[in-house]
Structure 1
């Protein structure tokens, strides 16, 4: 390290110490939330008498896989749901959400998202009429969305006007995705459920819960949501699950989603677990603690960047309901340097330099820092950004707080090295 670079790092570390004192009360609250969620998971394990033999797995059809069956029961209890479907056979969060939506909807039904345009990778799942891809719209399911208001709130007048006789499923994306808005808290989702069912009681409410699990002490399925889905390589996998997803909620709707994952009449009764059970169970056990570590890292990142004059969302002292920390830049160059700096801080593939590229499922070039043990594992420290105005980077995850802190300092020093920002001695 050059002498000048060493000086910059020392200055950043001094600032980091003051930031940690500044955010200490928030850290204590996050530790409490992690503790309560950990107790909830342990009690679910105890209730269903999880034992070593549940980790054995199965082959072939996977009939009578008791470990798989108990895993579903544990997840259902943890998330306050009637039933759950937890499988390594879900290839991604998008695949999991797709199975949930196809399970809930039939030709002639309408899906209405009330939280604006959903995450980019769902656009192809929704599709266009007659697109020939087997999308929802190709199968005769209509789609509509209600943009959020300027302050990020649901536009209830527009929602009421948009609900039609054919509207069957209300879609809610808990996380901000690639939007500069607050993510929705469980309390806010609870209010959404009440309001849409007051308009039309038979409506079904679906929540994309990605990045949200264990960030609060309650989950959307505990406040009236009919079906919810998420990815195991995000929060609930605890950094150990190597693939997979979960769906939980109403027993009838979970069964319908299972028919989409496998086949009608087979559903969740088959599916060899092929040695994945131990990691999925243990990952769930660790998840509340690791989510807490990632949240503390996000709070630190927000406070550190705010100290340097950047705009962050959420701010360091705002309520947290998902892992994502957004930071706004004025141009593409500092955004790219930030993401590349996060990669430089990785334990895996730190030597790789990410560049923007046309990633399948995205509408703009995307740059992703992903120095992770699990490919795409966004409970691990990662960052990504579409290269479009406004230039916003989205950082998430971190298996340990120390790694997130190191990543933030490395990203800042990378920006200094490229003369994109100047760190003054009086930063502290």
Structure 2
């Protein structure tokens, strides 16, 4: 029985004209007070999207430090609009709370079933053999994900690393990888081999062929094309990306993933269905393995880490395949009973997993607030405001220019607890083919689950909002972001 419902959030009449939500007129730019002359520039005052490099050049005049004279009346106007949106969203937030409660119940049951106690927080060193806590964590994760087994490891550097490990564990020379839901996320391009450095061992360099099914004009899976897409005996992996990634398409529902699994297996039951589950965990009461996916992969610095995991990733699915993934992550013969992990990290993994449904729920609320507010500002948002057909951790906002993306991200960065003084700039970063801009002042490096806004600098210039440990952080972040965005729009006009 689904706890979700469809529909639209009620909006106040004062925000509509002839039944349509009307954008508010941009506010005039606030007066600027000249910044004091600076003689010392700290490293990182202006940062390229390349996270490994920090510029030290003197910022342009007026860009160093808080140079805006706050206007109580003008700031209150933006804040009032945000809190008015929040009030209208009360029914939506209630639906999110119901989803959170259902997932907390599921996680709580897994902890209880496996009798998790303080003795599971001891940790291990070196090879990590016989680590009861790590083994219990794998079992808990497997139950939560609806899988036979799971590999939850700090040794995974990222979600991309976990996904790549799963793909390399299954695919062999001469096999075909079929992407079912359009083009995968940008960082997968170098793994597959459609882009990247020659000689680094992409799948295509290892003799794996690659094919993808385009989406329909509505951004959905092409079900008719999928019915005949599998080549029995050749197509070894059918890969499904659950979230929108850097694409203007809806997030896939668990029902859609289940339908895709059935269609794929009907053509060849030996095809391994893999699901990039990044940003998908706990946005439904079920996970991909619950509906037949063979492997599901994700990052612990996104949803399942509860915003406190210091790193790592997971792969969950069939027990035989999890053994193959462990061999790929470590080495053949080492097995699944390996991988030293400090006790403090184990405790955080357990605690983060327990918190994950709650932090994911707060991120969903923050995304709904951003969607409502920016829709009223006149921008296209996906998912549209209200209760979506499918809950999405990612809210895509089409800003339509490089300057607006930059302005929005800079407004977000100013409200981050870490690096609020940093000015994000578009730049090249590892794994991405386009320039990318990031606003992500987080305690865990790259933890987009905490609160972030980013996107590739390419038409139609979309910024993707994620995370938020509490929706009120988005309320505060949107004050700065919308003010900066309005100023950028005013310049365009």
Q: TM-score, normalised by structure 2?
A: 0.83
Q: CA deviation at 1:18?
A: 2.1
Q: CA deviation at 1:195?
A: 1.2
2:15 paired residue number:
none
SS in 2 for 1:162: coil
**Is residue 72–residue 84 contact of structure 1 (8 Å, CA) maintained in 2?**
yes
Q: CA deviation at 1:153?
A: 1.5
Deviations 1:250-299 (A, max 9, x none): 00111111110001111321110123101110000100001000100000
2:466 aligned with 1:399, yes or no?
no
Query: For 2:291 and 2:490, how far apart are their aligned partners in 1?
Result: 45
1:357 to 392, 416, 427: 427
Change (3 A) 1:372 1:387: same
2:403 to 333, 338, 345: 333
Q: CA deviation at 1:13?
A: 1.8
2:79 aligned with 1:13, yes or no?
yes
1:187 to 255, 260, 274: 255
2:218 aligned with 1:148, yes or no?
no
Larger mean CA deviation between 193-202 and 44-53 belongs to 193-202
1:177 paired residue number:
245
Matched length? 421
Q: CA deviation at 1:157?
A: 3.4
1:367 paired residue number:
437
Name whichever structure is richer in helix by fraction: 1
Larger CA Rg, structure 1 vs 2: 2
Q: CA deviation at 1:134?
A: 1.4
Query: For 1:280 and 1:419, how far apart are their aligned partners in 2?
Result: 41
Q: CA deviation at 1:321?
A: 3.2
Change (3 A) 1:419 1:246: closer
2:110 aligned with 1:41, yes or no?
no
Deviations 1:152-175 (A, max 9, x none): 121233334432230011000001
SS in 2 for 1:172: strand
2:147 paired residue number:
81
Instruction: Give the CA RMSD over aligned residues.
Output: 1.6
1:278 paired residue number:
347
**Is residue 171–residue 208 contact of structure 2 (8 Å, CA) maintained in 1?**
yes
2:382 paired residue number:
313
Q: Which runs of 5+ in 2 are unaligned?
A: 1-66
Q: TM-score, normalised by structure 1?
A: 0.95
1:255 paired residue number:
323
1:201 paired residue number:
269
Query: For 2:241 and 2:490, how far apart are their aligned partners in 1?
Result: 34
Query: For 1:326 and 1:6, how far apart are their aligned partners in 2?
Result: 30
SS in 2 for 1:312: strand
Q: Which runs of 5+ in 1 are unaligned?
A: 423-428
2:291 paired residue number:
223
1:135 to 202, 205, 210: 202
2:160 aligned with 1:90, yes or no?
no
